[in-house]
Structure 1
Amino acid sequence: MKSSSTVNLLGQRTNSDSALKTLELKSLTIKSPLQHIPGGMKMVCASVVVALFMLLALQFGVESGLSKVDVEALRVPLALHNIIGDIEAVQRARRDVGGVPAELQEIDEDVLLGSVSFAEGVVARMSRLEDNLASTDIRVHAGTPAHGQLIDSYPHIKAVQQGKDSLVVTKASLFLAQNTCQRFGHDDDKCGALVASMKLNGTRLGEKCAAHHGPFGACERPSKYRTVDGSCNNPSQQSWGKALTGYQRLIFPHYGDGIQEPRRPVHGRALPSARKVSTLVTKEGNDLDGSRTLAVVQWAQFVEHDLVFTPASKMVTTGDSIMCCRQDGSHLPPRYVHPSCYPISIASSDPFYSQFRVQCMNYVRSVSAFRSDCSFGPVEQLNQATHFLDGSMLYGSTTDEAQSLRTLVKGKLRSQFQNGQAFLPLSDRPTQYCQLSEPGTCYKAGDMRVNMHPDLVVMHTVWLREHNRVAGVLAELNPHWGDETLYQEARRVVVAEMQHITFKEWLPSVVGEDYVKKMGLQISGSEFSVKYDENINPTVSNSFATAAIRFLYSMMDGDLKLYDEGREANQTMPLLYHFNKPQVVEESKNLVALVRGLATQSAQKNDLKYVDDVKDLLYKDTSSYGMDVVSLDIQRGRDHGIPAYNYFRKLCGLPKAKKFSTFEDVIPQSTVQKLSAAYAHPDDVDLLVGGMAERPAGGGLLGPTLRCVLGEQMARTRKGDRYFYDLAGKPGSFSAAQLREIKKVTLARIFCDNANVETMQPNVFQRFSLSNGLTSCQNTAAIPRVSLNSWREVIVDNL
């Protein structure tokens, strides 16, 4: 059983009895729901208790249905129809609590109201600390590696507002846990589940949460077009998939205190430093994937940015950025450490950072979100993007963002021209959204991470041009259409093209053709699909966002090669010099050369080797070092309460390991030895690390566990989307003729039409071969062209 020591409302652990007493409310009472009820009614109430208990079992999972699954035979992921809970924690709760389950004990409503009032006071008192931090200039400075990190997780103003409210819920949940189950000796996981059964209804935050999650009056009439923020997709669950809502869980979260404290090891007080794990388990290196191009990597990041945007916290009272280390990389004195800080410790013997005497890597905890059922309970993290594959990185995830990106003329998106070529519009905050110390070239798109590196800028630019190309053709076909219709129809076509490329070309390369078929995700001919299920929640899983999709950084190359039309590399662009400095894309013929590079240059293998550009030099500025993407990803998983790799093995049909040698069923022995050197127990291994250590399965890039998590998400992304492009009979469905044209699209055709290339291989995700050789972009038999003639609207003259 875990320690029942308390955690104060700033997240600091204490074993003092007096500290617990300061959190008690005089009105605290715990009542049995069957107490003082007449005998006949007790039978009815007992039945209700049994029914609720069964509901808990459905919510948190049933062990017998998971442990015997063969991962290779997995057709539909078990988490596809519901959120799977931490089975073992629930089983312990059933054993530890006799009679009426503790989860069903009734908490006096005054206690819930009092806990919120108490928590509001705690959050308000943070202002003194934040004012002190602001006065001492402890903040993120422009152009530094921490600035690049901030850009990658920059919070929207609405995210900051919700984060403040949900922070109150978190502190109130800690109060409830400490004054109910923890004080009676129950473990932290059990307490987290109990507190999650308590609703915000009747509290000041209950109304805010309810308003955020709907229902929404605007959803009453089905629309032909998606909303910008993802709302109203599901007719009965109108907030499913909406931007600025929390991720969902495949496994109930594992927090050290059951509510918010980062996960603790099986034995001891703290897991090994994320940087220590990174240095022991991963290494720098260049092992090329002989069959896949950089387009696989770049499309993975494009998909990630469409589905995932996790913001970092800002100061609650001032809105300033949070810095958790000194500017020189040393640790801050405790009195200057913000409660949202979770910095990564770096050992004095570190193989890279020690030469610069860096001891601390900045990490700020992610913004929290209201829980989807408007309850107290463990922290959930916020997603600023829509949870749909809907081009939000191009079009934006809020109405204001979408409007700011439009010309409002003939349906086109804003752009700016250099040497006769269209590029992304310039940002009005270049020193905020790029790592620039003075104004310079910095782009604006639907996702502020657009400037991260040249290949990402290129992909955004190509798709901006594609939208405007499509809008232009539609305007010629339908001169009577106004700006709004042209914009929405062009957006509808472009999103359909993105979805088709993702599921037809990219996904088979990542998880393998056989797994795509087992999941029922293959795209068939020109036929319509009936795969939509309104009971499937498309909300992105936290484990997908923080682990599964992050495989792409292992495959990035540190040298971006610039190719001429004959596919000779005549120049190299070092990645480390161009993080959030995108001006190079407009220079000379760099954009077209980079497009050829995406389709020509080999990706790195997906393994535990990373190029130093992302391993030690991520977001490097004028100093000699940057950040480590592996350490940051590990730390984020712990921050988010992501359960250990062992639990996801079990979820995905592999045996839960009691000793490290069990991992050898899917992980090479030499790597298992590294894991055992980094971690003290198999249950300590982080999901990202264990998943990346697995051997690729089934002809894809990923091992069975990350493949399972990624495949599960892609299944819900498709089957939970009422506007998915190949569905029939929906308000947004294409005609049969239009669908046939959409299914012709390839990323090769997008490159041909929008990047001034003359030749391309039909499948740009695969290296050249006899069956995938370079061919002229004019060869529409090899690289089909999508005709938009089926979008011509015939006007009938009634006269």
Structure 2
Amino acid sequence: MTEIERRDRRPELSRVARTRRQLAELYMATSEYLDSRIGWDRLPTALGLSTLLGLRHRLRERNLYDTTSLPAVNLPPIEPPGEQHLINRTCDGSYNDLASPRMGMAGTRFGRNVPLTSAVRPDDAGVLTPNPREISRALLTRTEFVPATTVNSLVAAWLQFMIRDWFSHGTSPQENPWVVPLAPDDTWPQKSMTIMRTPSDETRPADSAGMPPTSINVNSHWWDASQLYGCSATEQKAVRAGEGGRLNAERHTYADTVPGFWLGVALMHQVFVAEHNAICDMLQARYPHWGDEELFQRARLITAALIAKIHTVEWTPAVISHPTTVAALRANWFGVAGERVHKLFGRVSPSEVISGIPGAATDHFGVPYSLTEEFTSVYRMHPLVRDDWHLRAVADDSTLRKVTLRDLAGPAATAMMAELDTTDLLYSFGTLPPGLVTLHNFPKFLQEFERPDGNLQDLAATDLLRSRELGVPRYNEFRRLLRLKPAATFEELTGNPVWAEEIRAAYGGDIEQVDLTVGVFAEPLPPGFAFSDTAFRIFILMASRRLNSDRFFTEYYTPEVYTPEGLQWITDNTMASVLLRHHPRLRSAMSKVSNAFQPWRTASATE
């Protein structure tokens, strides 16, 4: 084509681009209209799915905000580029984006899903108003356990296992804590309640007046199974066996002195250390000439992708089991063409909509990738965790122990793992329901949680304070920024007249002060949901973004990087097959479930 011909085509191409943009705008506007007037969850599945896709497009346009462009100093160091960065995940998440090697690495800032001008931390008095301890006592305390009957307690164990990979604000400084006043009738065992502050962002320049609050993720932002492999060379060396690519199951530390560790996390660690090692054995049989490093790196890629697949097509559809969301989440991985077509033919289209995100093009949607403070906030789902646990034997459902969450947390969890059979513990989790993510269902133990350092903590009050401290908008403003209708009254917020009065009293009648956590716990839930529709909006955006931005899930999701056997392993396996590979005595209990996060049959029911 000549230059003149190319010039002649430019207006035509411009018209095509404008037309496409106009059609895209019409599609997104129609999706928002249907959602606001009818609700995506009330539409037929196909139309609901189309509506969610339109909402995701709009969220990608208007709810991704970059904090890396803000002034910064003392950025985390990166090693010089090397050939190993092309096909291996690094320890700290650097070089995932080869053109921007710090993107998403450990030690970089959380991003935002709201405009930076809306990410405003109140003054100190505002952070403490209304009193977070009083909100915790009045609205969050578990008065009676409310179960989520469509899932089992593996959903709680899995979520904490994931969170230890995704994000951490780091160790809080001991000096200058928040001091929360206590009511005269408060039974808190100390004279005052102190809550440690979020660690400061060391990359903020000294003169950063006017900058929105920013904080550092000490974990890698990528979905790279760093909870198994660590985020530094030192951590990774400590957990490797040094031969055959394997992890050392005996030496693999569960860090049971780190806050947040409990039996559920320990079980997931043990299962996926064993899974990594099984993948190493498979690869070594196929590629006997490979050394320890090659086996380790390929097994890490495969394990991380299998974990991401399980979360995408099993865990999330189990906890938000509406037919439309199940279809949408499975489409994230397999595309609307479906799993059967994927297994028979692989990708049949470059489109992520048709053939899924894995293997599609990498796309940051115009904003450098990171996890966000809002993503962190909506994942505050402590009500999933039970207070009381009936541990039973898989063989006959007989009682082994009746314990509380306190008996399963910290070093006590490690002791429990040594004393009881892991298969029995998994069976107990699989046959016990978790809690529903709702008001008045926060674990009592976590409202008087003794940290490994000896400090007492009300995690419910801490969750509220953290969102305020980090500039996460309160509930109504959060909804406005997601283009959702704010609640005009307390009755409209919850639909539960008793709760409406309780929330009104707790917030002094000011609905604009209602915290995000309280609002999402109080909302009426869509059918099949264990958490709120408002929180789901962040999931619509971020669940796919974690895959879209990661080249190891997109353009590098190939047989050359993963091996043909590795991709087949990911395709063929589920949470159920992973559990049964390492714990075959669970087969009877799991024989009637299509998803391992659904309730299993008890031994007495299988006879």
- Give the TM-score, by structure 1 length: 0.60
Partner of 1:521: 332
Give the C-alpha shift of residue 753 in structure 1: 2.0
Cα 1:532/1:603, change in 2 over 3 Å = farther
Distance in 2 between residues matched to 1:622 and 1:405, nearest whole Å: 24
Partner of 2:150: 291
Partner of 1:302: 161
Distance in 2 between residues matched to 1:197 and 1:463, nearest whole Å: 33
SS of the residue 1:499 aligns to: helix
SS of the residue 2:403 aligns to: strand
Give the C-alpha shift of residue 627 in structure 1: 2.9
Alignment of 1:206-225 (within 5 A): 206=73, 208-209=74-75, 217-218=80-81, 223-225=86-88
Distance in 2 between residues matched to 1:594 and 1:79, nearest whole Å: 41
Give the C-alpha shift of residue 199 in structure 1: 6.4
Give the C-alpha shift of residue 74 in structure 1: 3.5
Given candidates 595, 598, 601, the residue that maps to 1:766 is: 598
Partner of 2:203: 370
Distance in 1 between residues matched to 2:195 and 2:225, nearest whole Å: 31
Given candidates 126, 129, 132, the residue that maps to 1:271 is: 129
Distance in 1 between residues matched to 2:179 and 2:59, nearest whole Å: 32
1:231-266 CA distance string (max 9 Å, x none): 22223333222111111111135799x57745838x
Distance in 2 between residues matched to 1:542 and 1:622, nearest whole Å: 26
Contact 2:493 2:522 in 1 (8 A): no
Query: If you compute each CA radius of gyration, which structure gives the higher value, 1 or 2?
Result: 1
Partner of 2:252: 425
Distance in 1 between residues matched to 2:451 and 2:234, nearest whole Å: 32
Partner of 1:749: 577
Distance in 1 between residues matched to 2:463 and 2:441, nearest whole Å: 13
The unaligned stretches of length 5 or more in structure 2 are 1-28, 41-50, 348-355
Contact 1:645 1:691 in 2 (8 A): yes
Contact 1:474 1:486 in 2 (8 A): yes
Given candidates 271, 280, 289, the residue that maps to 1:462 is: 271
Partner of 2:225: 391
Give the C-alpha shift of residue 378 in structure 1: 2.0
Given candidates 130, 140, 160, the residue that maps to 1:282 is: 140
Cα 1:604/1:734, change in 2 over 3 Å = same
The worse-fitting range, judged by mean Cα deviation, of 247-256 and 633-642 is 247-256
Pairing 1:229–2:101 present: no
Given candidates 25, 28, 52, the residue that maps to 1:74 is: 52
Q: Which amino acid aligns with 1:768?
A: W
1:248-293 CA distance string (max 9 Å, x none): 111135799x57745838xxxx511111111121231212222210
SS of the residue 1:464 aligns to: helix
Partner of 2:364: 535
Give the C-alpha shift of residue 732 in structure 1: 3.4
Distance in 2 between residues matched to 1:587 and 1:199, nearest whole Å: 48
Partner of 2:449: 618
Pairing 1:630–2:441 present: no
Determine which structure has the larger helix proportion and give its number.
2
Distance in 2 between residues matched to 1:472 and 1:728, nearest whole Å: 21
Distance in 2 between residues matched to 1:407 and 1:84, nearest whole Å: 40
SS of the residue 2:450 aligns to: coil
Give the C-alpha shift of residue 637 in structure 1: 0.8
Q: Which amino acid aligns with 2:324?
A: D
Distance in 1 between residues matched to 2:64 and 2:548, nearest whole Å: 18
Distance in 2 between residues matched to 1:591 and 1:557, nearest whole Å: 19
Distance in 2 between residues matched to 1:726 and 1:769, nearest whole Å: 41
Give the C-alpha shift of residue 398 in structure 1: 1.6
Distance in 2 between residues matched to 1:774 and 1:712, nearest whole Å: 41
Contact 2:228 2:273 in 1 (8 A): yes
SS of the residue 1:560 aligns to: strand
Give the C-alpha shift of residue 503 in structure 1: 0.8
Give the C-alpha shift of residue 375 in structure 1: 7.3
Distance in 2 between residues matched to 1:378 and 1:597, nearest whole Å: 45
Give the C-alpha shift of residue 387 in structure 1: 1.1
Work out the percentage of aligned pairs sharing the same amino acid.
20
Cα 1:411/1:711, change in 2 over 3 Å = same
Distance in 2 between residues matched to 1:712 and 1:249, nearest whole Å: 12
Partner of 1:717: 546
Partner of 2:20: none
Q: Which amino acid aligns with 2:252?
A: P
Distance in 1 between residues matched to 2:579 and 2:32, nearest whole Å: 45
Alignment of 1:2-21 (within 5 A): none
Distance in 2 between residues matched to 1:219 and 1:684, nearest whole Å: 51
Pairing 1:602–2:433 present: yes
SS of the residue 2:129 aligns to: coil
Contact 2:165 2:225 in 1 (8 A): yes
Alignment of 1:138-177 (within 5 A): none
Contact 2:427 2:586 in 1 (8 A): no
SS of the residue 2:215 aligns to: strand
Given candidates 494, 497, 504, the residue that maps to 1:676 is: 504
The unaligned stretches of length 5 or more in structure 1 are 1-63, 86-192, 315-321, 323-337, 417-423, 428-432, 436-447, 776-799
Give the C-alpha shift of residue 734 in structure 1: 5.0
Alignment of 1:542-621 (within 5 A): 542-545=373-376, 547-551=377-381, 553-566=382-395, 568-570=397-399, 571-581=401-411, 582-610=413-441, 612-619=443-450
Distance in 2 between residues matched to 1:245 and 1:392, nearest whole Å: 15
Distance in 2 between residues matched to 1:197 and 1:565, nearest whole Å: 50
Cα 1:255/1:721, change in 2 over 3 Å = closer
Partner of 2:246: 412
Q: Which amino acid aligns with 2:437?
A: N
Q: Which amino acid aligns with 2:99?
A: S
Partner of 1:360: 193
Give the C-alpha shift of residue 472 in structure 1: 2.5
Pairing 1:238–2:238 present: no
Q: Which amino acid aligns with 2:197?
A: V
1:58-93 CA distance string (max 9 Å, x none): xxxxxx9998663623324334246457xxxxxxxx
Contact 1:260 1:379 in 2 (8 A): no
Alignment of 1:55-70 (within 5 A): 70=36
SS of the residue 2:275 aligns to: helix
Distance in 1 between residues matched to 2:375 and 2:190, nearest whole Å: 34
Aligned length: 531
Contact 2:431 2:600 in 1 (8 A): yes
Give the C-alpha shift of residue 659 in structure 1: 4.2
Give the C-alpha shift of residue 343 in structure 1: 3.1
Partner of 1:135: none
User: Over the residues paired in the alignment, what is the CA RMSD in angstroms?
Assistant: 3.6
SS of the residue 1:603 aligns to: coil
Cα 1:84/1:218, change in 2 over 3 Å = closer
Given candidates 318, 342, 346, the residue that maps to 2:182 is: 346
Q: Which amino acid aligns with 1:286?
A: F
Q: Which amino acid aligns with 2:265?
A: L
1:625-655 CA distance string (max 9 Å, x none): 9532211111111111111111221233421
Distance in 2 between residues matched to 1:218 and 1:280, nearest whole Å: 54
The structure whose RCO (Cα within 8 Å, separation 6+) is larger is 2
1:688-717 CA distance string (max 9 Å, x none): 111111122242212210111233221211
Give the C-alpha shift of residue 610 in structure 1: 2.8
Contact 1:84 1:249 in 2 (8 A): yes
Partner of 2:293: 484
Q: Which amino acid aligns with 1:281?
A: L
Partner of 1:252: 115
Contact 1:559 1:575 in 2 (8 A): yes
Contact 2:559 2:567 in 1 (8 A): no
Distance in 2 between residues matched to 1:388 and 1:705, nearest whole Å: 24
Give the C-alpha shift of residue 682 in structure 1: 1.9
Contact 2:364 2:548 in 1 (8 A): no
Partner of 2:15: none
Cα 1:344/1:613, change in 2 over 3 Å = same
The worse-fitting range, judged by mean Cα deviation, of 553-562 and 499-508 is 553-562
Contact 1:345 1:359 in 2 (8 A): yes
Q: Which amino acid aligns with 2:503?
A: L
- Give the TM-score, by structure 2 length: 0.78
